[in-house]
Structure 1
């Protein structure tokens, strides 16, 4: 039997993306975000979650999509992201969150080679859920290009067992 991996599916600009459920700490409603001076455009600022500060990134801006105003469906996804040899807590803003779904690991397709360079290095693969494609994020590569200053990253995560 094929190995099913669990992904949190989310919406951005009408497309469906997936993040391995292993990296998801929690999902929050949109809330005020404290701005940080001179931060990159895609870094909205910081929020406090039960006494810990998390940098919040706008996934739309990170992926060079147009910014939009938050709606009732907008969510902040708090993630444990591997950066180098450690795990860092980071929040991503998404247009909406759909569900946790299983996708067969063996069915993941590679990013299409279209004979030119395009920003696809953050994609781990492309899965299918029904008639929809689900673009699976490679969080390490997505964050590798974020270049956040060390002091703005949340303290290393220590998941409770």
Structure 2
């Protein structure tokens, strides 16, 4: 990728792996709290999280990526993000194992998503950055949720 400039991203961990989403998509980072359960949703739909009186649809990002679920710990966080889908922004809460930091990546250092060797579909990956301590996977949140899924999530939440 030969795009000039920098990308600021919030990095977070799922298991031993490090992921990131652009800081421009992140509205808030919340401590873990139990969600209000919504019946009949997909297994990764945890329910609604109260954000100053508004219900935010909250999903387990581990399950959505096909990783095994884990019990929440004191480090578990909910990343409240704006997901651009079908020309509109939808607010979702992503449950992650831990939030690490805000990092700045040189766009020229962001490599393409590998087609093999990862446990989730490569269309979910916007790019990969090699750092001395390992790789950071940039998540394409718009690809993780198809329009049909987003509509189903919001129908379940309503």
TM-score by length of 1: 0.87
Alignment of structure 1 residues 12-161 onto 2, 5 Å: 12-114=14-116, 119-144=121-146, 147-148=149-150, 149=152, 150-152=154-156
Instruction: Count how many residue pairs are aligned between Structure 1 and Structure 2.
Output: 152
Change (3 A) 1:145 1:151: closer
**Unpaired runs of 5+ in structure 1?**
155-161
CA RMSD across the alignment: 2.1
Deviations 1:70-129 (A, max 9, x none): 0000000000110111001000000000000001111111122349x9611110000133
- Could you tell me how far apart the structure 1 residues matched to 2:50 and 2:102 are? 25
- Could you tell me how far apart the structure 2 residues matched to 1:139 and 1:73 are? 22
**Unpaired runs of 5+ in structure 2?**
none
TM-score by length of 2: 0.89
Specify which structure has the higher proportion of helix.
2
